Amino acid sequence: MPRRPRTLVVAGLCRRAGRILLTRRRADQPMPLLWELPGGKIEAGEAPREALRREIAEELGVRARVGRPVDVIFHPYRDFDLMMMVFSCRVFGEPRPLQVAAVRWVEPAGLAGYKCLPADRALMRRLAGRSMTRREATGGVR
């Protein structure tokens, strides 16, 4: 059986005042205009946390403090397998859409109203379906 390409990415579960940060993909990207957690690909020789800090700075123009891993997601797309490491994250400043189409802070209960990337859907359902502890509401990052 031939080996499928595997892509390793990082995503930030960024919370502020109980809301979760989502970004919308640009129209010129694969899977255009779908919503996702901020993040992206890990470059060669780059540590996952550093990749997430870099991606957030590039995409949203803010500094991020990356906390503990909260999930690892595997999703088989048609042409490749995705491995996504999700970290708790705190951003400093107001995110703006520099390399994404839009940025939005969303109440967990409202996540179901956003058309997300397939790899993000199960996590979004879990986040929408339960209340958060105080520590989770701040992203576990101080």
pLDDT tens-place string over residues 81-104:
999 999 999 999 999 999 999 999
- Identify the pLDDT of residue 100: 98
Q: Is residue 28 part of a domain?
A: yes
pTM attached to this predicted model: 0.87
Diameter of the chain measured on Cα atoms:
48
Cα–Cα dist 61/40, whole Å: 15
The residues pairing with 85 across neighbouring beta strands, listed in sequence order, are 10, 72
Q: Which residue has the higher pLDDT, 132 or 79?
A: 79
pLDDT exceeds 70 at position 16: yes
What was the pLDDT predicted at 135?
45
Calculate what percentage of the chain has a pLDDT beyond 90: 85
Task: Supply the pLDDT for residue 130.
Answer: 57
Tell whether 107 is covered by a domain: yes
Q: Does residue 138 lie in a domain region?
A: no
High-pLDDT (> 70) share of the chain, %: 90
Is 139's pLDDT higher than 60?
no
In a domain, 46, yes or no: yes
Can you give the length of the chain in residues? 142
Does residue 12 fall inside a structural domain? yes
Average pLDDT over residues 97-112: 96
Question: Is the pLDDT at 127 greater than 70, yes or no?
Answer: yes
The average pLDDT across 14-36 equals 97
How many structural domains is the chain composed of? 1
Identify whether 69 is part of a domain.
yes
Token pair recorded at residue 121: 């859907």
**Is 142 within a domain?**
no
- Domain with 102, as residue range(s), is 6-128
- Looking at residue 119, which CATH number applies to its domain? 3.90.79.10
Is residue 64, in this structure, part of any structural domain at all? yes
